Amino acid sequence: MTNKEGLLIVYSGPSGVGKGTLIAPLIEELGMTFSVSLTTRSPRPGEEQGKSYHFVSQAEFERMVDAGDLLEYARYNQNYYGTPRRAVEQTLQQGRDVLLEIDVQGAMQLRRSFPAAVFIFVMPPSLEALWDRLAGRGTEGAEEVARRMAFAKGEIAMSQYYDFIIVNDQIERARAQLRAVIEASRVRAPHMKKFVEEVLHGHA
């Protein structure tokens, strides 16, 4: 299939739900490109500059917002997070699918501008299970865990605006669902529009 734009996959879920672990092996398996976001928060132990995030100062972040360099951005828990516009647009144009792991505020900004994108939300089986995972991760203090739990409720309420909700109770089952959803989204009619036009009207 030629002349095909990549699929934009918007992937959200509350902090601690296991989004990263769930998607990690599928990134290579399904040939997706992970969009590395910019953030003003400090790196956690083990996080490398340019790999999990581009860690930037608030001044640098604001400069990029003003220049229109971000596809979307949001303030989350005292920090800013944003998606670099050029990298995403270029990758999509090359026909590669791009995965954006972003919060619900950012996702909603993209709803209208990317009608062919697929929006996937990862849900915990219960709030208790989410608390256990957040506290067990040990990367945030008790106060931060409580703050993220409060956020989580608001985020879960927004899941109704997504196309798919994956409950992360058993990882293998959840991952199989996620794989199926991404593969199906690749052949959804809105995403196939360009191809259909090409079949009908051919090349110049």
Rounded distance between C-alpha atoms, residue 50 and residue 62, angstroms? 18
Which residue of this chain has its Cβ atom nearest to ligand 5GP in the complex?
A: 106
Among 34, 61, 76, 114, binds ligand 5GP (CB under 6 A): 76
Among 6, 18, 106, 124, binds ligand 5GP (CB under 6 A): 106
125, 129, 130, 135 alpha-carbon torsion, rounded to 10°: -170
Task: For residue 72, give the amino acid letter.
Answer: E
Distant-in-sequence, close-in-space partners of 85: CB < 8 Å, separation ≥ 6? 68, 69, 70, 71
Among 41, 85, 133, 194, binds ligand 5GP (CB under 6 A): 41
Contact 73, 80 (CB under 8 A): yes
Among 81, 114, 121, 162, binds ligand 5GP (CB under 6 A): 81
- Could you say which residues in the range 10-29 bind ligand 5GP, by CB under 6 A? 15
3-state secondary structure of 166: strand
Return the number of the residue (4 or 111) whose C-beta is nearest ligand 5GP. 111
Question: What separation, in Å, do the N-terminal and C-terminal C-alpha atoms of the chain show?
Answer: 16
Among 22, 103, 108, 164, binds ligand 5GP (CB under 6 A): 103
How many residues contact ligand 5GP, by CB under 6 A? 15
Task: Candidates 55-63, 73-81, 91-99, 192-200: pick the segment binding ligand 5GP (CB under 6 A).
Answer: 73-81
185 binds ligand 5GP (CB under 6 A): no
Helix intervals (H) in the chain: 19-29, 58-67, 85-93, 104-113, 127-137, 142-157, 171-185, 189-201
Residues in contact with ligand 5GP by CB under 6 A are: 15, 37, 41, 72-74, 76, 81-83, 101-103, 105-106
